Structures are given as structure tokens and as C-alpha cells.
């Protein structure tokens, strides 16, 4: 009796599709990192769960809404399904960084006029550095084409002023080294230098969408494990009365950046190092 052939979920990674576009900061572009099916699937998973995007306050570390970032977004769960897991495997193969060091994939939607002002992905507050340390690298995946605008711009990139741009680039993109949002492409850039210090040249922003709609998916990767958190039993508490309700609704996985820092008891991360 013939046996069924076991399906192997291989990581499809082709380094010949990768080009280096900057060394200061280190930026790499992967053409066709995602298939159309994968891009559309990520959008499908996010559409009904989008909420106004937040930023980390530089002093308190709290997640707050700000006109600096006007998109809407949500977080997937790690290895949420076969397609998400396949993408995460491919990211690990490209970056050579452990999956446990990475946050969940975030899905963002930028509509007409929405943007994200230039900012750093490394943290400027100590609170957010407690889990995994600084964000070392970012893989930014583009899930849709944008008719005009929506570029990712690096205003401080060395030699960015030498990049030739025609009328198909927005004025915002002409203020530094820029990458167009092309469905399926992905950008890998490093927020830290090889010696581990923060790289001020990694300043980057999302230009306003002038025509069309932009869907993107960043995945942030830390210096250390983001999946393991040490919390002293003396510090085991909830900082918000709604923590228990949010945890029951699944927010420990959907919004780990806030929940695991402020709802320790409800998310069950108290004690010695534990997987979360």
C-alpha cells in the first residue's frame, strides 16, 4: 500500500534577489520577498482588527496615540497559521537572527494623507529595553503597491542625496534615501551598528500616501530573546484595572509590547524566565 508523501514546508529564500542600497545605515532590499498570495493573506487577517496606531513615549515607554503616526494597525500572533509561519521562517533565514528575538508581525494600513514622521526603531526609554534589549533590525514588508507617495525615506542615510529621483517620487521621498512601496518587496535595515551602539543614520519615516492605499508589515527583531521575560515576583502586578479583561480577550498575544510590560499578572509572566 502506497504511503502519502510527507509535505515539507521549505523556506524559499533566494539571496540573489537581495541588493544592498546603503551601508550607513545598513539597508538591504529583497525584490519579491512575498508572493501575491502571502501579501493578500496578511491583509485579510488584519482587516477586521485594525486600530489607530500608537508610538512609544520616549520618557515613560507607554504606548500612546500621536499625530506623528497616523496609520492604523494590529499585531498577528507568532506562527498564527501556515502562511505566517512560512514568512517568519523566511525572515529568520534572511536575517540569520533567532525567531525568539523577534516580535510578532504587525500589519499597517496607510490611507490618503496618512504618514509616519521620521523616527528610530531602537528605544530611547529604559522600560522598553527590558524585554529583548534594543531593536536590532527591522524587516519591512510591502503588501500593496501605492500609486503615488508612501515611500520609506531615510533622511540621514549617507549618500542619500545622490539617489536619482524623477517625477514618480513624492517630495518627501526626495529628502533622503528612499524606497518605493512595491507589493511583495521587503526592506531589511539595522538600527544598531555592528559594535552594538545605536545608529542615528537609521532614522526613517513613511511618506504620506498621496494616491492609493499602502499596506505594510514590519517585523522588529531584538538583540536578545523577546519570547522570554524575567519578572521578579516582587514586581508581579497589573498597572491597569482592565488588564484581566484585556488578557481574556487575547491582548497578551495581540499587543505584547504594552501588555507584558503593564499587565504582568494577567499575562502570567511572573516569576523566573518563562515563554510567553
User: Would you say 36 and 184 are in contact if contact means Cβ atoms under 8 Å apart?
Assistant: yes
Closest CA to 258 of 108, 33, 57, 94: 57
Please give the residue that has the higher pLDDT: either 53 or 147. 147
Q: How far apart are CA 238 and CA 247, in angstroms?
A: 11
CA distance 184 to 172: 22
DSSP class of residue 224 equals S
Per-residue pLDDT reduced to its tens digit, 70-94: 678 999 999 999 999 999 999 999 9
What is the per-residue pLDDT across 213-240, written as a single tens digit (0 to 9) for each? 999 999 999 999 998 764 445 567 887 8
From CA 121, how far away is CA 128, in angstroms rounded? 11
Residues 256-274 have pLDDT tens digits of 767 877 887 888 776 544 4
- Residue 160 pLDDT exceeds 50: yes
Asked if residue 276 has pLDDT above 60, the reply is no
Maximum Cα interatomic distance, the chain, rounded to a whole number of Å: 66
Output the pTM of the full model.
0.77
Kindly report, residue by residue over 125-142, the tens digit of the pLDDT: 777 777 889 999 999 999
- Position 162 scores a pLDDT of 94
Distance of CA 48 to the CA centre of its chain: 19
Amino acid at each position: 500500500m502506497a504511503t502519502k508523501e510527507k509535505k515539507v514546508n521549505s523556506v524559499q529564500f533566494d539571496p540573489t534577489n537581495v541588493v544592498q542600497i546603503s551601508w550607513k545605515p545598513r539597508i538591504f532590499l529583497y525584490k519579491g520577498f512575498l508572493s501575491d498570495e502571502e501579501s493578500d493573506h496578511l491583509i485579510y487577517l488584519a482587516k477586521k482588527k485594525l486600530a489607530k496606531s500608537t508610538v512609544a513615549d520616549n520618557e515613560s515607554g507607554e504606548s500612546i496615540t500621536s499625530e506623528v503616526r497616523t496609520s492604523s494597525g494590529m499585531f498577528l500572533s507568532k506562527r498564527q497559521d501556515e502562511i505566517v509561519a512560512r514568512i517568519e521562517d523566511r525572515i529568520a533565514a534572511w536575517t540569520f537572527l533567532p525567531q525568539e528575538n523577534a516580535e510578532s508581525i504587525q500589519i499597517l494600513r496607510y490611507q490618503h494623507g496618512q504618514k509616519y514622521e521620521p523616527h528610530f526603531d531602537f528605544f530611547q526609554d529604559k522600560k522598553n529595553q527590558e524585554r529583548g534589549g534594543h531593536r536590532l533590525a527591522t524587516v519591512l514588508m510591502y503588501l500593496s503597491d501605492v500609486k503615488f507617495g508612501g515611500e520609506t525615506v531615510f533622511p540621514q542615510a549617507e549618500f542619500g542625496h545622490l539617489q536619482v529621483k524623477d517625477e514618480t517620487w513624492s517630495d518627501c521621498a526626495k529628502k533622503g534615501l528612499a524606497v518605493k512601496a512595491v507589493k511583495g518587496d521587503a526592506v531589511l535595515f539595522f538600527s544598531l551598528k555592528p559594535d552594538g551602539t545605536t545608529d542615528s543614520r537609521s532614522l526613517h519615516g513613511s511618506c504620506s500616501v498621496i494616491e492609493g492605499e499602502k499596506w505594510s508589515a514590519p517585523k522588529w527583531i531584538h538583540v536578545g530573546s523577546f519570547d522570554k521575560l524575567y519578572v521578579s515576583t516582587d514586581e508581579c502586578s497589573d498597572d491597569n484595572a482592565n488588564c484581566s479583561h484585556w488578557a481574556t480577550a487575547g491582548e497578551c498575544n495581540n499587543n505584547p509590547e504594552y501588555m507584558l510590560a503593564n499587565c504582568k499578572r494577567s499575562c502570567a509572566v511572573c516569576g523566573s524566565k518563562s515563554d510567553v
